[in-house]
Amino acid sequence: MAFGLTHSGVSRRAGQGGRWQWVLPGVYAAVTGDLSADQRDMAALLYGGQGSVITGPAALRGLRITGATAKKVDVLIPAPRQRQSTEFAAMHRSTRLPALFVAEGPLRYAMAPRAVADAARFAGNLTEARAIVAGAVQKSRCPIHLLTAELSAGPVNGSRLLRIALSEVADGVLSVAEADFRELILRAGLPRPVFNALIRRADGSVLAVVDAWWAEARVAGEVDSREWHLSPADWERTMRRHNELARCGVQVLHFSPRQIKAEPRAVVAAIAGALAQRGNRAQAG
């Protein structure tokens, strides 16, 4: 309008057969067809107004922490501003607008700690929150201490999933399957292992990192996802590692993510049996 367009002129361009399309209130695309992820981000940012910043899953994609296209574009806006969420643009009024952000051209993304924390806060369930937090930490894109600081600085309401996921990651859990394994072990009342434990040889060199480690019984629990064994080389590497652990007196129990979900009693029984057997052997020795 500032450049001389009229409402009727805009309507004509964005109407049937026109070269524009309506995207969000007050926001039009000068192209037809599906919008790219960046165009959706830009539209949501324009709708949010001056000073707004993209956060959550859309920001994680923009920061290349994940490649998934976000269903919604979460935008932080100043608390006094009245802006309703609509279509794919989710508006979040905040008194803690990021002082720093990552600029990708005209796009503004919250930095990784805020984006990860908000994505976990907005998650629909614990599994989703786990994947967000563990994925960011595992890829070394967001240190745990910065996420902890963000948790402390952010609102208490709505932080439950973030708090649980962060406590699991701080305990050494770095994947959703590992989180399910940890939860099963603790819920079953089994002796608490060290999660993601570093096992060393007698000379101090690193033997392996295992998902769960009961040091006294020298029993290790491993969650083996099929994705890690897609080639003969992967399988051979796993077997060499298993044999080396066995040679050093470690009993390794392997479980698939499906077993942990579908056969929890069998998993618990296998661990309890191994711990009892190895414990009795140690006492006899």
In this predicted structure, what is the pLDDT of residue 243?
Answer: 86
**In which region does residue 220 sit, left (phi positive, over 0), alpha (psi from -120 to 50) or beta (all else)?**
beta
Query: In a 10 Å sphere around its CB, with 0-12 CB exposed, 13-18 middle and 19+ buried, how is residue 10 labelled?
Result: middle
Give the pairing type, strands 219-223 and 251-255.
Answer: parallel
Q: In this structure, which CATH number among 3.40.50.2000, 3.40.50.300, 3.90.226.10, 3.40.960.10 belongs to the domain 176-284? A: 3.40.960.10
Q: Would you state the structure tokens that stand for residue 90, as one six-digit string?
A: 């989710």
pTM over 0.85: no
Round the CA-based radius of gyration of the chain to a whole number and report it: 25
Q: What is the pLDDT of residue 169?
A: 82
Q: What are phi and psi of 47, to 5 degrees?
A: -65, -35
Element (H, E) at 99: none
Regarding predicted confidence, which is higher, 91 or 131?
Answer: 91
With 0-12 / 13-18 / 19 or more C-beta atoms within 10 angstroms meaning exposed / middle / buried, residue 71 is: exposed
Number of helices (H), then strands (E), in the chain: 11, 11
Q: Where are the domains of the chain?
A: 1-110, 119-170, 176-284
* Percent of the chain scoring above 70 in pLDDT: 93
Contact (CB, 8 A) for 135 and 122:
no
pLDDT score of 76 more than 80 = yes
Mean pLDDT of 130-148: 84
Mean pLDDT of the chain: 86
Please indicate whether residue 140 or residue 92 has the higher confidence score (pLDDT): 92
What is the mean predicted confidence (pLDDT) over 141-149? 86
Look at residue 281 in the predicted model and tell me its pLDDT: 55
Look at residue 117 and tell me whether its pLDDT is greater than 90. Answer: yes
| pLDDT tens sequence across 161-220 | 999 888 888 777 777 888 889 999 999 999 999 998 888 888 888 888 888 999 999 999
Whether residue 13 has pLDDT greater than 50: yes
* DSSP alpha helix (H) spans, 15-111: 37-48, 56-62
Rounded distance, CA 218 to CA 210, Å?
A: 12
| Contact by Cβ (8 Å): 181, 211 | yes
pLDDT bracket for residue 8 (50, 70, 90): confident
Closest CA to 25 of 6, 44, 38: 44
